[in-house]
């Protein structure tokens, strides 16, 4: 299809009509030219196609579709291929239902554990979130179905989501909040992007030219079209100019008419409208040409697939004394109403009408040969009674194994949680059972971190997240040992919400100040040496792994040269298992900005038989070492040493590290003068070549520090580093001529290309 030619044949009114939807879920057709109407519909982990009355809050019934694990768990798999498998299955469900664009994935950063939509988002870490989003998009689109990467951008809370103004500085935006979108756009080119409801620094996102044109298109090269979130349009003409192409949904033609009037009055250049129409038609015809027709669905097969995937998304957070896996020949007390009816998805627009739903009680019964006793313990809504608690205690005392299934029923779009506390009845029940039966195992179903006041009393904790319709089957696979858990946390679990960095500035209406800046998640906990409940990247297995020291392809590279890092991982236990190997990078000293101690820049999942060793290799590109320089509005590397670590989690004690020097070609060096400190001078490229002999001379003139001196040589040295060179020269009383030093500084400046 020659889209340009087609646009040329359209009247002004026809073009404007394409800029808003036909009702809830469709684009408008132009019958005169044979342009069809196509359907776009939710959502990230399952299809929510409403055949009857539409709404964007998941209120009205939709067609039966598989509810796969939600993003919170999926990201915990750290598995690009796994998410791609789910993506291809989602695409098949979309095709079988004649849907051209799936409204997902959501890749907003988890700024606070309280955000109501965290279950729909991947991570607190931009690298992980970006990789997951890119794999999802590539997989769905490889089957001919488009995606809508959402919610762009800085939409990290549900409180006042339609009006709030996220106040974020440029570096934080690019390093943390935009980075996952950037990766997804560059690696996967989503067909569409959905702009979020909120404002950023005073401008609604639908008309935010910086985000929709400068960043998305000019910097990242996005080729698809931008649509609004449902009801996120404000000034239609301003939005078109800023780069927002399609308004969704639409119940009237009022905004189309505004576009026509603006072109006629000269307020809007018709070329801007043509550009948007062209973008939309390009995507529409791509789907028509590449979308698979006559796809038939096997929902039973997808249910089995959902169970397999879910088994890779659940995190074994504690397993003292190897409580799990349970010996199923022994008697087992299964406690908690969620064992009968699992919590498996959140509320809102991602709510799926699932055709099947496993439950733990039944699935456990299928594989256990020992007696199974059930006690409700507390109700589905989290309330309990003395009678229910007494029954639960009795069951727990009687049985050899105890498995509690509980969780948080509060995860939904449109509202944030007020705290991380579980309902009181749930806490009471878990505590009572754990006290009655030391070593009890708890399975938690939740979309985001919760407080765990009873953790010390438990033998084991499996965090199942919201694992989709087959979650219960997958839980049973893990607790019985049929599946060896391998997932790791894609977010820090703080003790409580007050421990989280965004806390004082989260959940506000009006201005929402991102005052914690880049210090999100583990970056914050690392910097302040605060021990959370569970660290980012933490997760256990039924086997154990050992890591070798990492090896690097070079100890010094020039910016842009790839660096290869490898380590050998050995399965030292007695079961086959998979290990998620994480790679972190941190700059030791950065003069221009304060950087996190370390940041995730690579991960690989490796499957190992008992005793087997495999080498895991990562290749780091220039971005792995760069920060966002606000003076250049770009990514820059500062010359210096970096600590590159390979580790099983983000815990500082578990990092195996190597140091690498990177020489920058992108930093702008300030000219050195007599006011530059000795530290600044020595950190400048070429300084040692020019300055080495002088340093030695200066050292020989410095007073010697003996064993009985109050100040150590290191301390003196550190003090000297902070002194401007001109001041230092005056201390040594004219023994070195300042003009000689000035000449040397000029020489260093000129070697670095600075006048
Ligand atoms: C949500 C989107 C969703 C849309 C359509 C909005 O309320 O924020 O994520 O895709 O509705 O259901």
How many CB atoms within 10 Å of residue 736?
A: 16
How many angstroms separate the CA atoms of 116 and 103, rounded? 18
Whole-number pLDDT of residue 408 = 86
pLDDT at 424: 96
Does any ligand 1 atom lie closer than 6 A to the CB of residue 103?
Answer: yes
The response to whether residue 150 sits with its C-beta less than 6 Å from ligand 1 reads yes
Q: How far apart are CA 526 and CA 518, in angstroms?
A: 12
Q: What is the DSSP string of 224-238?
A: SEEEE-TT----HHH
132 close to 71: Cβ distance less than 8 angstroms: yes
**How high is the pLDDT of residue 634?**
98
43 C-alpha to ligand 1 centroid (Å) = 8
SS3 of 488, please? Answer: coil
Distance of CA 699 to the CA centre of its chain: 50
Cα-to-centroid distance, 739 and ligand 1 (Å): 67
d(CA 651, CA 698): 41
> Would strands 613-620 and 563-571 be described as parallel, antiparallel, or unpaired?
antiparallel
d(CA 319, CA 678): 52
636 bridge partner residues: 627
Say what the pLDDT of residue 525 is. Answer: 98
For ligand 1, mutation pick of 23, 57, 103, 120 (most atoms within 8 Å of CB): 103
Listed in sequence order, the residues at least 6 apart from 218 whose beta carbon sits closer than 8 Å to its beta carbon are none
**Alpha carbons 431 and 351: distance in angstroms, whole number:** 31
Contacts of 40 (CB under 8 A, 6+ apart): 25, 26, 27, 99, 100, 101, 102, 103, 146, 148, 192, 227, 248
pLDDT for 668: 86
Contact (CB, 8 A) for 725 and 677? yes
* Contact between 732 and 744 (Cβ < 8 Å): no
Q: Which two tokens stand for residue 189?
A: 């080119």
Residue 275 burial (CB count, 10 A) = 15
What is the rounded distance in angstroms from the CA atom of residue 166 to the CA atom of residue 156? 9
CB 596 within 8 A of CB 527: yes
146-152/101-103 β-pairing: parallel
The residue ranges of DSSP E strands in 386-456, in sequence order, are 401-407, 441-445
What are the residue ranges spanned by the domains of the chain?
Answer: 1-37+252-280, 38-251+281-290, 306-527, 545-663, 678-751
Element (H, E) at 139: helix 126-142
DSSP state of 109: -
**Residue among 21, 42, 45, 105 whose CB has most ligand 1 atoms within 8 A, to mutate:** 42
- Give the residue among 231, 164, 157 at the shortest CA–CA distance from 195: 231
**CA-closest residue to ligand 1 atom 12:** 56
DSSP H helices, 244-298, are 254-265, 270-290
- Let me know if 706 is exposed, middle or buried by CB neighbors in 10 A (0-12, 13-18, 19+): exposed
- The model's pLDDT over 567-625, given as tens digits with 9 standing for 90+, comes to 999 999 999 999 999 999 999 999 899 999 999 999 999 999 999 999 999 999 999 99
Quick one: pLDDT at residue 43? Answer: 83
The answer to whether the CB of 75 is under 6 A from ligand 1 is no
How far apart, in whole angstroms, are the C-alpha atoms of residue 336 and residue 442? 10
For residue 388, how far is its CA from the centre of ligand 1 (angstroms)? Answer: 39
Question: Which of 693, 694, 688 has the alpha carbon at shortest distance from 752?
Answer: 688
Confidence (pLDDT) at 147: 98
147 phi/psi in degrees, rounded to 5: -125, 165
Classify domain 38-251+281-290 at the CATH topology level. TIM Barrel (3.20.20)
175 lines ligand 1 (CB under 6 A): no
Which ranges of the chain have pLDDT less than 70?
698-699, 701-711
Quickly count: other Cβ atoms within 10 Å of residue 655's Cβ. Answer: 21
Catalytic residues: 229
Taking the CA atoms of the chain, what radius of gyration do you get in angstroms?
Answer: 29
Nearest residue to 324 via CA among 406, 396, 403, 438: 403
> What is the pLDDT, as a whole number, of residue 514?
98
Ligand 1 atom with minimal separation from the 104 CA: 10
Q: What's 672's DSSP letter?
A: P
Q: Does the domain formed by 545-663 have CATH 2.60.40.10?
A: yes
For position 705, what pLDDT does the model report?
Answer: 59
Residues 65, 488: Cα–Cα separation, whole Å: 28
Ligand 1 within 6 A of CB of 230: yes
638 lines ligand 1 (CB under 6 A): no
Q: Per-residue DSSP letters for 80-103?
A: HHHHHHHHHHHHHHHHHTT-SEEE
What architecture is the 306-527 domain classified under in CATH?
A: 3-Layer(aba) Sandwich (3.40)
Contacts of 109 (CB under 8 A, 6+ apart): 121, 123, 124, 125, 126, 129, 156, 176, 177, 180, 520
Q: What end-to-end distance do the CA atoms of the chain give, in Å?
A: 55
């Amino acid at each position: 299809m020659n889209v340009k030619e087609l646009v040329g044949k359209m009247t002004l009114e026809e073009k404007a009509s394409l800029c808003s939807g036909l009702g809830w879920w469709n684009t408008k057709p132009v019958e005169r030219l044979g342009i069809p109407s196509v359907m776009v519909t939710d959502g990230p982990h399952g299809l929510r196609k409403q055949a009857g009355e539409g709404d964007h809050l998941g209120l009205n019934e939709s067609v039966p579709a598989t509810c796969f694990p939600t993003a919170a768990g999926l990201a915990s798999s750290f598995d690009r291929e796994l998410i791609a498998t789910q993506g291809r299955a989602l695409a098949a469900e979309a095709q079988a239902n004649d849907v051209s664009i799936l409204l997902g994935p959501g890749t907003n950063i988890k700024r606070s554990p309280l955000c109501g939509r965290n279950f729909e988002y991947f991570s607190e870490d931009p690298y992980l979130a970006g990789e997951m989003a890119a794999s999802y998009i590539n997989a769905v689109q490889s089957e001919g179905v488009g995606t809508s990467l959402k919610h762009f951008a800085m939409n990290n809370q549900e409180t006042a989501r339609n009006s709030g103004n996220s106040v974020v500085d440029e570096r934080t935006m690019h390093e943390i909040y935009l980075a996952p979108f950037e990766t997804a756009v560059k690696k996967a080119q989503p067909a569409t992007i959905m702009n979020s409801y909120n404002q950023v620094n005073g401008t609604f996102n639908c008309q935010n030219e910086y985000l929709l044109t400068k960043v998305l298109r000019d910097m990242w090269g996005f080729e698809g079209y931008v649509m609004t979130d449902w009801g996120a349009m404000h000034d239609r003409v301003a939005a078109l100019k800023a780069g927002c192409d399609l308004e969704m949904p639409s119940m009237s033609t009022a905004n189309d008419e505004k576009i026509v009037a603006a072109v006629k009055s000269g307020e809007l250049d018709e070329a801007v409208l043509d550009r948007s129409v062209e973008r939309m038609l390009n995507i529409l015809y791509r789907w028509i040409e590449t979308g698979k027709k006559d796809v038939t669905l096997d929902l039973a097969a997808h249910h089995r697939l959902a169970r397999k995937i879910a088994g890779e998304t659940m995190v074994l957070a504690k397993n003292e004394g190897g409580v799990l896996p349970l010996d199923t020949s022994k008697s087992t007390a299964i406690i908690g109403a969620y064992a009968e009816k699992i919590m498996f998805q959140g509320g809102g627009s991602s709510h799926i009408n699932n055709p099947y739903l496993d439950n733990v009680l039944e699935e456990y019964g299928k594989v256990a040969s020992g007696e199974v006793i059930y006690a409700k313990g507390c109700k589905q809504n989290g309330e309990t009674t003395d009678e229910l608690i007494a029954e639960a205690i009795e069951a727990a005392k009687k049985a050899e194994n105890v498995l509690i299934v509980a969780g948080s029923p509060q995860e939904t779009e449109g509202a944030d949680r007020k705290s991380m506390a579980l309902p009181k009845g749930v806490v009471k029940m878990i505590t009572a059972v754990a006290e009655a039966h030391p070593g009890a195992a708890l399975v938690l179903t939740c979309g985001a971190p919760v407080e765990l006041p009873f953790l010390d009393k438990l033998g084991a904790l499996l965090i199942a997240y919201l694992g989709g319709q087959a979650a219960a089957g997958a839980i049973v696979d893990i607790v019985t040992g049929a599946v060896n858990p391998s997932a790791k946390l894609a977010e820090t679990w703080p003790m409580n919400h007050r421990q989280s960095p965004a806390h004082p500035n989260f959940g506000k209406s009006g201005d929402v100040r991102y005052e914690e800046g880049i210090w999100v998640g583990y970056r914050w906990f690392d910097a302040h040496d605060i021990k959370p409940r569970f660290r980012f990247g933490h997760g256990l297995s039924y086997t154990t792994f050992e890591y070798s020291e990492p090896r690097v392809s070079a100890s010094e590279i020039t910016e842009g040269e790839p660096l290869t890092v490898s380590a050998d991982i050995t399965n030292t236990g007695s079961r086959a298992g998979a290990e998620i190997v994480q790679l972190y990078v941190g700059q030791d000293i950065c003069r221009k900005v304060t950087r996190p101690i370390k940041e995730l820049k690579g991960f690989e999942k490796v499957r190992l038989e008992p005793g087997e060793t495999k080498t895991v290799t990562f290749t780091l590109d220039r971005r792995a070492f760069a920060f966002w320089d606000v003076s250049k509005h770009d990514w820059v590397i500062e010359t210096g040493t970096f600590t590159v670590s390979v580790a099983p989690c983000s815990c500082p004690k578990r990092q195996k590290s190597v140091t690498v020097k990177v020489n920058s070609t992108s930093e702008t060096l300030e000219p050195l003068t007599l006011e530059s400190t000795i530290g600044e001078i020595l950190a400048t490229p070429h300084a040692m070549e020019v300055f080495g002999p002088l340093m030695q001379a200066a050292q020989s003139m410095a007073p010697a520090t003996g064993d009985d001196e109050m100040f150590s040589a290191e301390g003196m040295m550190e003090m000297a580093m902070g002194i401007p060179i001109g001041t230092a020269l005056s201390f040594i009383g004219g023994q070195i001529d300042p003009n000689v030093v000035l000449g040397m500084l000029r020489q260093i400046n000129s070697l670095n290309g600075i006048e």
